[in-house]
Amino acid sequence: MSRSSFQQFHWQSSQFKSASNDIDSFYSLLAEQMQRLGMQQQTLGAIEAYPLDLYQSPNPHSSRPNLLISAGFHGEEAAGPWGMLKFLSQLDSEVFNKINLSLLPLVNPTGFKAGHRFNQYGENPNRGFEFAAGRALESADSSVEGKLLIAQQDLLKALSTDGILTCHEDVLQHNCYVYSFEPEQAAGAFSLGLRDSLAGFFEVAADNSIDGCPLDKGLIHNHYDTSFESCLVRLGAKRGACSETPALEDFDQRIDANCAVMQQFVAFSL
Ligand SMILES: [Zn+2]
C-alpha cells in the first residue's frame, strides 16, 4: 500500500470539540496560547491566505539549549498540530528560563484545511531538502513551504542545535514508530525515550520495514533522505527525530501521544 497524496481524512476531536481540519479554530486557539506564553511570532512567508509562522522563546539566551519542534508538514497528519496545541496549553512559561524553544506549529496549512497529504499545488512539503557543502539546497522536489524554510536555514540551524523534533502520522498504521538521529551508530536514550513516550498510547510497530527502511524495536535510526529533519541534522542539529503516530487509531489518543512526545523531547534537554 502507498499513501495517497489527495485522499481526504477528517476526524472529530472530543477534547477540542473541533474537526481535525478546522483551520480557523486551530489558529484561534494557537494565538491564545502564544499570547499566554509570550512567544515571539515571525512570519516566514505565505501560502495562499495562510502564514508559515515560526515562534521563539520570549527571551532566548545563548547559554541555553536550542530546541525546535515542527508539525503539520503533511495535511492529513492532523494530530501533530493539535498535539502541539495541547502541549502549549500544558506548558509552564518557566521552561523558557531553561531552554530556547522554537516552534513551527503548522507548516502545510492548505493541506491541513483540505485534510490531504500534499499542499494545494500537489507538492510534498517534506521532500526536496537537498544538502551539499554544508548548505541546504532547493531541488525540483522542493515545495513552496520547503523553499521558505530553506531560505531561513541559518536561523533554523541556530534554533535546532540541540535537537529537532518533527511530528508526523502514518495513515496506514495501527502502530507507532520513530525516525531517530543521534551521533552514535546505535540508538540511545534520546531515541528510546521518544519511542517509549508513544508506546504509552499505542503498540510499537513490529520489526519489519516501513517504506523500505529497516525498523528495529520501533526505531528507524540514522536514515538520511531529503526530509526537513534529515536536513537539519546534516546542518548540525545534535539529535533529531520524526515521530509517527498511527492514524488508524483514535484521533484524541493521537493528539495526546503527540503532546507526550513533545514533552519528552523537551524534558530530555532539561
Ligand atoms: Zn508525514
Segments making up each domain of the chain, as ranges: 14-268
Centre of ligand 1 to C-alpha 61, Å, is 32
Full-model pTM:
0.97
User: What are the tens digits of pLDDT across the range 36-88?
Assistant: 999 999 999 999 999 999 999 999 999 999 999 999 999 999 999 999 999 99
Centre of ligand 1 to C-alpha 73, Å, is 6
Q: 204: which 3 cell numbers?
A: 510499537
Centre of ligand 1 to C-alpha 97, Å, is 32
Quick one: CATH architecture of 14-268?
3-Layer(aba) Sandwich (3.40)
Q: Which residues surround ligand 1, an ion (CB under 5 A)?
A: 74, 77, 168
Centre of ligand 1 to C-alpha 218, Å, is 16
Centre of ligand 1 to C-alpha 163, Å, is 19
User: What are the tens digits of pLDDT across the range 109-126?
Assistant: 999 999 999 999 999 999
Centre of ligand 1 to C-alpha 246, Å, is 11
**Is residue 190 within 8 Å of residue 180, measured between CB atoms?**
yes
Measure the CA–CA gap between 79 and 84, rounded to whole angstroms.
Answer: 8
**Is residue 165 within 8 Å of residue 70, measured between CB atoms?**
yes
The dihedral of CA 104, 134, 220, 264: what is its sign? negative
Beta bridge partners of residue 82, listed in sequence order: none
User: What are the tens digits of pLDDT across the range 222-264?
Assistant: 999 999 999 999 999 999 999 999 999 999 999 999 999 999 9
